[in-house]
Amino acid sequence: MRSDDGRETYYVSVGGKEIVKDRGATAWEFEIRANEEELYRLQDLFEELASLEEAEVWHFTRHPFETASTEQMSASTADVTARIYRLLHELGTPETKAFIERMRLE
């Protein structure tokens, strides 16, 4: 249900990079309230993370012993993951925010 500020409830799986409206549609870890712009921001971050993960797999299979760029790629993935958790904290329900704070993910 959409509120006056345009926000709706979504259920998010970080590992699955999924955002759904139906609570029972998939396994999820976080409940958020987001408007369209915020939802697009989260989707963009998931797409960026997926691209980085694909690049890492390709890189590791081609250059298994090269450490400098491997470290840079891992740092980029960690940065995007941190941005995802910060946004989830910003948009999260009180339970979501509390969980992220307890896990020190934000």
Q: Which residues in 23-43 are b (16+ Cβ under 10 Å) and which e?
A: eeeeebebbbbbeeebbebbe
Whole-number pLDDT of residue 105: 72
Whole-number pLDDT of residue 2: 66
* pTM metric for this prediction: 0.81
Whole-number pLDDT of residue 64: 58
Q: What is the pLDDT along the chain (106 residues), one digit of tens a residue?
A: 666 788 999 999 999 999 999 999 989 999 999 999 999 999 999 999 999 888 766 655 555 565 546 666 677 888 999 999 999 999 999 999 999 999 987 6
Give the orientation angle of helix 36-62 with respect to helix 68-91, to 10 degrees.
160
Residue with tokens 């998010």: 12
d(CA 84, CA 101): 14
Give the orientation angle of helix 68-91 with respect to helix 94-103, to 10 degrees.
150
**Alpha-carbon distances, residue 104 vs 8, 24, 99 (angstroms):** 26, 27, 8
Whole-number pLDDT of residue 6: 86
Whole-number pLDDT of residue 19: 97
